[in-house]
Amino acid sequence: MPEGLPHLLRSDARDNRERILEAARAVFAADGLGVPMREIARRADVGPATLYRHFPTKEALAAEAFGEQMHACYAIVDEGLADPDPWRGFTSVVEQLCALHARDRGFTAAFTSVFPHALDFTADRERAVKSLAELTRRAREAGRLRADVELDDVILVLMANGGIQASSPAVRVAASRRFAALAIRGMRA
């Protein structure tokens, strides 16, 4: 194939790839990143060789699977920063990030560097943290966020939210919403 032309997959290979990604997202969201590749292949209804042809490592699969969640994080924080009311933007970001992480345990683990070499979210984390720091500063300066609340406190809330254990994803998200509401009430000026 000439240089510069995109490599197009056959329709069956494209379908297999999408099924693998769907299965990986579902399994990672429910059970985290510890799920074996064979289980992902089984759930995608493909053989292990097909899975490894598309994604030679679990790290490569996770990086592809979590691209949408990373964009969702950016969108949440950017939306909070765009809100003319700093407190409303701040609370919205905390609520939405807690819910996102409660729905997808695998993304939370990936974002906190379970695969530090292949899933290098360092630049992504730095961008998100910088934006969250700006939002925290604005809410504090507006007098709505307690003066003693720092960025580290907000990050601690997000990390604690990741530890919520529940019998199902729906129960975990409901518990996360309650936790975010309690944390926000505790940070209000």
Q: Which domains does the chain have, with CATH numbers?
A: 11-65 (1.10.10.60), 67-187 (1.10.357.10)
Q: Does 119 score more than 90 pLDDT?
A: no
27, burial (CB in 10 Å: exposed 0-12, middle 13-18, buried 19+): buried
Q: Does 187 score more than 90 pLDDT?
A: yes
Task: Provide the residue type at 79 as one letter.
Answer: E
Residue 114 — very low, low, confident or very high, per pLDDT cuts 50/70/90? very low
Measured distance CA(107)–CA(169) in Å, rounded: 14
Measured distance CA(162)–CA(108) in Å, rounded: 7
- In this prediction the pTM is 0.71
What's 141's DSSP letter?
A: H
Of 72, 74, 48, 75, nearest to 61 (Cα)? 48
Q: What pLDDT was estimated at residue 16? A: 93
Q: What pLDDT was estimated at residue 68? A: 77
Average pLDDT of the residues in 69-91: 91
Residue 42 — very low, low, confident or very high, per pLDDT cuts 50/70/90? very high
Q: What pLDDT was estimated at residue 110? A: 62
Measured distance CA(189)–CA(140) in Å, rounded: 8
